Structure 1
Amino acid sequence: MIRYLRLLAELLALNWRLRPLATAGLVALCLAAVPTTPALALALREAVDGIVRRDPRAAAASAAVAAIAYAVGLYLRSLAYTLETMLGDRIGTLHIRRHIEEQLARLDGLDHLERTDLLDRVTVLRGTAWRLNHAPWQAVVAVCDALRLGLLLALLAAVTPWLLLLLGFAAAPLWFDQRGRRSIVDAEIDTAEAFRLQRHLFNLATTAAGGKELRVSGAGPEIARRQRQAWDAAVSGRFRARIRSALWTLAGWTLFTGGFTAGLLLLIDRTARGEASAGDLVLAVTVAMTLRNAIQDTLFAVGHAMSGRTLVEPLLWLRGYAAAANTTGGRTPPDSLRAGITLDGVGYTYPGTGRPALDEVSCHLAAGTVVAVVGEYGSGKTTLVKLLTKLYRPDRGRIEVDGVDLDDLATVEWRARTSAAFQDFGRFHIRFGETVGIGDLSHVDDPDRIADAVQAADARTIVDRLPEGLDTQLGRPFDGVELSEGQWQRTALARASMRADPLLFVLDEPTASLDAPSEHHIFQRYLVRARKLAARTGAVTVIVSHRFSTVTGADHILVLHKGRLVEQGTHDELLAAGGRYADLYGVSVA
């Protein structure tokens, strides 16, 4: 609760910093509306007493004051609601959602994308950031409504102090309502995975990529059934939580109704015995009738403010996770490599799995060398390059760059000295020149640098066939040109060639979508590029491939099997050893 209140204060400060006049005006409107209801009750009492005293002028004036108080209160609350909605939507959507996205973007690695606890909370936050900025304003409204409620109770106490007992009964719905909302918070997080599953299945059935196979296989109805099943599981879990919440709320209001009825009976008895005037009776009845709405408004505002905890818990958790995850050092990578990259007992296990993806891997990648990583599918090749690019952090062991622990290097700066093309490359539906240029944002608008990268990837023919060359929009969903799988892969290779001075150059199965002649041609081009980078910065080039015939020109070859480094050496050395590499190479070229 303390962290939640601090966050509410932080959000109010954000409103003040971004919209000071609107923020001050909203607070003023809320406070100005507080005395209008008590003023209405007092004016009605004076009007009735004026009638009893046969003073029509006083009665008429008091009635006019009552009408003005009612109209002003209604107008102020309506204006405050409109202004609060505007602030909540604008700041919540434009600034708080950006803050959430920045927290995610600030995470160094990719392992968070495979953690269900984080994905559950992101699911809750997605699309509802605007609700966060409504929470502090609902807290302000709750305070103002509480002040109004306090004034009304003071008026009741002036008639009889016994009516102050209603305050205790009024607290019951608040406590019970909090208990109910707590179950809703828990249910939304517990069912977030089911929501993600149904969204994934829906996208699978409604996109072209999955739609082809579903139609050929006839699996569409089964996917639809599973999507409905996941949706029903998610909705039913939240529905049960809301039923429990409603029962808690009903219990609280039942207690209040009993106390409220007893208070009214007491007022009627005092009036019948002449212990209060007719005006006091009208005042008490008016306040008593208004009291229910005042309590309901207060609880409603408190409830809305507290409902923000549904989003605050995931946001605070995300902040804490980001702070704990980004604990790497701030040292700057060297201008060029002298010794190279050393792995010492490196191991990594994916969350939720029992078998290590890498286990006790130790080797040295000398500066200026081309290192090939080979092995069967699932041997740990891609995991290794993800550790080198700091997308993951080792569970065990350490990686050193010229004797400095990779964890001690600033991640952003290390990535700025890294180029990579991955097997699961991105298909960015932007202009072709941009999808290549984002490989080095500082040169995204540099046509000469982009042209060199395109040439390095042997992708010049792709550009020549595009209707608008580098300015061609990509992707059919955006009325652009759709590339073939091989063309997308060449585009990814071009993107990886944008940086002129990397210390680490990674090609992770970069030609899996190309035919054998094209693959051989690409590898020859990149071996030449690797030699140029080695001469310039001592860069280490790491090539991952399952085709053994393409990596024979590497300076050093690492052979992985079930996460362990079982052999290493040159192509000739490994063939002479007659071990696993020799066997797999013989199969690949047979």
Structure 2
Amino acid sequence: MRTLRTLRGNATLFREIFGLCWRRSRPLFLTVCVCMTLDTFAVAAIGLCMRAMVSGTIDSDGTVIVVGAVGAALGYALTITFTEITGALQINLCELVAREHYDRQIQLAAMGIEGIEHLEQTEYLDQLTALYDQTWAIGRSAWGALEATALVVRLFLVLGLLGSISPVLLVILLAGVIPLYFEQRARTLIQNAQHARSQDRRLQRRLFEILTGGATGKEVRVAGTSTHLVRLQREAAERSELIWRRANLRAGLLNALGWSVFVGSFVAGLAVVVVDAAHNSAHVGDIVLTITVGTQLRSLVQNAVRASSSTGGAGRVLEPYRWLREYEAAHTSKAAGPAPAGLTRGITFEDVTFTYGNSDRPALDAVNVTLPAGSVVAVVGEYGSGKTTIVKLLEKMYRPTSGRILIDGVDLADIDTRSWRTATAAAFQDFGRYHSTFAQGIALGDLAHPERLGTAVANADAQILVDRLPDGVDTQLGRPFGGVDLSEGQWQKLALARACMREAPLLFVLDEPTASLDAPSEHAIFERYMERARAIAPGGITVIVSHRFSTVAGADLILVLDKGRLVEVGSHEELLAKSATYADLYSLQQTAYAG
């Protein structure tokens, strides 16, 4: 059943690939098809011409000799030409389709899944690793299947020629199937090995990035851990190569066994023809035809193995590609309603619990709270208390393990994810550092409204930073690209400006937005965002996440988290009055900053 489903899936995919090739370049597509068709019938033509040439020699017929010789030479020349043209043009088409369609599709599919949990799963990352720089093989798989079809036609032609000489010679054709069988088993070994070493290959790349990266490179040098990390990378490489070498050795032995059987069968069949020709000189031409066709059959089987290997190589990509498409289809949100234009009641957490896939302890445990429409809400707590998890759930990066989040009474799960995110804005604590121009790094917050860039810079208190840059907002960032590098605090201001590109979001999230800034800058930015929060969309909610209690005193509502549980809710004054825990933590941080 699984094999049948795979075949149907491949057939659908092959139609898609040929359609893409046809639309991309009809002349290239037609040229490849014509060359493959002519090359298919060249095998039989060459064999017949060679037999005619020998028969003409025996009969002293010069015309037949010349025609046979010219036909055979022309057949060989055209075969070589068609093979070269077909190979080159196929590669061209496959690379075009991969670059313009499949690379883009795979990237968009990864981003199209509403959450980010898949990007933390080993299985998903293994499938992506298998596709890394190999998407051209997706297109190659379809052409390999077409070549296989052409090879079947050639095999039937050879079958007819050999059968016309002696039915005994059909054993050569049957023996030609044996290398294909062993090659199939060898290919399975290679595919399994490719998957088995995916995690080590990913580890190699990650360690290379750590060793050569600017930020991580500093820590590696100071700590003196470069030798250790290089050793870990070498060990990962050795494990990967050991798996690969063993698989290739076993595959090579299987292929050698298959070809040995074929060669033995060919020699036995040729001996039958030679004995027959020794008793009947009229059949001397059959020796030449047998050798010619047999040689062509050997070449045909080699091509079949090559096409099978190529298709198998593509199979190493087709399987993860199909897996990713099925995963995307299974995890893509169904039809849902749009986000509301404004909020009247607010956002309610109903008994929300969430546990990360690699943990057995809830990151949030039975949280019940309402964030009123039009309010500024602060979420505070120690590291690991669940603050960032609340942000991720609000932005639909994850879905609650149990419970639900209501937006004006509507389950967030029933709101279209793209529509919801278009109505929100966020600055995360693990913000992106884009090596673009300063302006482009901000404009990524809302590409549809580049005119808001100046206002976003002002809201992030980043104008002084812009004035110090050599080319202002047009300054290229990132030393690897010949640009300037920013400090951690400057990168954070850029991220804040990017989050401010949307003027009136329903939900505005700031996750530790000032962690890298000094106290005066932190205070100024919080004051600015408190003011801005009052002017966003009707009923819009601003959520500020911080581990610094002293900076969120002006919030309308403060949520105090501890080890995933919501332990206190209220305004700053209410919490000071009723919560000894909040009062002690607030006083402790006030004293620390004052000191």
Measured in 2, the distance between the counterparts of 1:564 and 1:233 equals: 43
Measured in 2, the distance between the counterparts of 1:217 and 1:583 equals: 37
The aligned amino acid for 2:165 is V
The aligned amino acid for 1:589 is Q
1:236 and 2:237 correspond: no
User: Contact 1:343–1:363 at 8 Å: present in 2 too?
Assistant: yes
Aligned residues: CA RMSD: 1.6
Match of 1:352 in 2: 358
Q: 1:441 is paired with a residue of what secondary structure? A: coil
1:451 and 2:454 correspond: yes
Match of 1:263 in 2: 269
Measured in 2, the distance between the counterparts of 1:251 and 1:72 equals: 32
Match of 2:129 in 1: 123
Pairwise CA distance, 1:501: 1.4
Q: 1:361 is paired with a residue of what secondary structure? A: strand
The aligned amino acid for 1:416 is T
The aligned amino acid for 1:524 is E
Measured in 2, the distance between the counterparts of 1:477 and 1:282 equals: 65
User: Contact 1:328–1:407 at 8 Å: present in 2 too?
Assistant: no
Measured in 1, the distance between the counterparts of 2:98 and 2:453 equals: 38
1:524 and 2:530 correspond: no
User: Contact 2:48–2:289 at 8 Å: present in 1 too?
Assistant: yes
Aligned counterparts, 1:504-523, within 5 A: 504-523=507-526
Unmatched 5+ residue regions in structure 2?
1-5
Match of 1:37 in 2: 43
Match of 1:285 in 2: 291
Aligned counterparts, 1:366-445, within 5 A: 366-444=372-450
User: Contact 1:142–1:299 at 8 Å: present in 2 too?
Assistant: no
Measured in 2, the distance between the counterparts of 1:349 and 1:132 equals: 37
Aligned counterparts, 1:287-302, within 5 A: 287-302=293-308
Q: 1:413 is paired with a residue of what secondary structure? A: helix
Pairwise CA distance, 1:275: 8.4
Greater shift after overlay, 61-70 or 451-460?
61-70
User: Contact 1:114–1:351 at 8 Å: present in 2 too?
Assistant: no
Pairwise CA distance, 1:455: 0.8
Pairwise CA distance, 1:222: 0.8
Pairwise CA distance, 1:189: 1.8
Match of 1:158 in 2: 164
Residue by residue over 1:325-362, the C-alpha shift from the partner in whole angstroms, topping out at 9 and shown as x without a partner, is 12254211111100000111112222222212112111
Residue by residue over 1:516-562, the C-alpha shift from the partner in whole angstroms, topping out at 9 and shown as x without a partner, is 121111111111111122xx421111110000111111111111111
Aligned counterparts, 1:20-419, within 5 A: 20-274=26-280, 277-419=283-425
The aligned amino acid for 2:278 is A
Match of 1:486 in 2: 489
Residue by residue over 1:275-319, the C-alpha shift from the partner in whole angstroms, topping out at 9 and shown as x without a partner, is 861112211121112211111112211221122110011111111
1:552 and 2:558 correspond: no
Q: 1:275 to 1:54 in 2, by over 3 A?
A: closer
Pick from 7, 12, 17 the counterpart of residue 13 of structure 2: 7
Q: 1:69 to 1:582 in 2, by over 3 A?
A: same
The aligned amino acid for 1:51 is T
Pairwise CA distance, 1:93: 2.2
Pairwise CA distance, 1:41: 1.2
Pairwise CA distance, 1:112: 1.5
Unmatched 5+ residue regions in structure 1?
none
Q: 1:483 is paired with a residue of what secondary structure? A: coil
Pick from 497, 501, 504 the counterpart of residue 504 of structure 2: 501
Greater shift after overlay, 23-32 or 136-145?
136-145
Residue by residue over 1:93-115, the C-alpha shift from the partner in whole angstroms, topping out at 9 and shown as x without a partner, is 22221121221121212111111
Residue by residue over 1:37-68, the C-alpha shift from the partner in whole angstroms, topping out at 9 and shown as x without a partner, is 21111111111111111223322232122212
Pairwise CA distance, 1:72: 1.8
Match of 1:576 in 2: 577
The aligned amino acid for 2:585 is L
Pairwise CA distance, 1:392: 1.2
Pairwise CA distance, 1:171: 1.5
User: Contact 1:568–1:574 at 8 Å: present in 2 too?
Assistant: yes
Match of 1:567 in 2: 568
Residue by residue over 1:51-91, the C-alpha shift from the partner in whole angstroms, topping out at 9 and shown as x without a partner, is 11122332223212221222122222222222112112222
User: Contact 1:169–1:256 at 8 Å: present in 2 too?
Assistant: yes
The percentage of counterpart residues that share the same residue type is 45
Residue by residue over 1:377-412, the C-alpha shift from the partner in whole angstroms, topping out at 9 and shown as x without a partner, is 111110110110111111111111001111111111
Greater shift after overlay, 48-57 or 190-199?
48-57
1:476 and 2:443 correspond: no
Q: 1:474 is paired with a residue of what secondary structure? A: coil
Pairwise CA distance, 1:122: 0.7
Pairwise CA distance, 1:457: 0.9
Q: 1:532 is paired with a residue of what secondary structure? A: coil
Measured in 2, the distance between the counterparts of 1:492 and 1:27 equals: 52
Pairwise CA distance, 1:204: 0.6
Match of 2:3 in 1: none
The aligned amino acid for 2:565 is R
Pairwise CA distance, 1:425: 0.9
Pairwise CA distance, 1:149: 2.5
Q: 1:442 is paired with a residue of what secondary structure? A: coil
Pairwise CA distance, 1:133: 1.3
Greater shift after overlay, 506-515 or 95-104?
95-104
Q: 1:329 to 1:548 in 2, by over 3 A?
A: farther
The aligned amino acid for 1:478 is F
User: Contact 1:50–1:58 at 8 Å: present in 2 too?
Assistant: yes
Residue by residue over 1:248-274, the C-alpha shift from the partner in whole angstroms, topping out at 9 and shown as x without a partner, is 222322332332232222222222332
Q: 1:299 is paired with a residue of what secondary structure? A: helix
User: Contact 1:343–1:399 at 8 Å: present in 2 too?
Assistant: yes
Measured in 1, the distance between the counterparts of 2:586 and 2:193 equals: 54
Pick from 455, 461, 465 the counterpart of residue 464 of structure 2: 461
Residue by residue over 1:445-502, the C-alpha shift from the partner in whole angstroms, topping out at 9 and shown as x without a partner, is x1xx111111111111011111221212111111112111111111111111111110
Measured in 1, the distance between the counterparts of 2:354 and 2:335 equals: 20
Greater shift after overlay, 86-95 or 249-258?
249-258
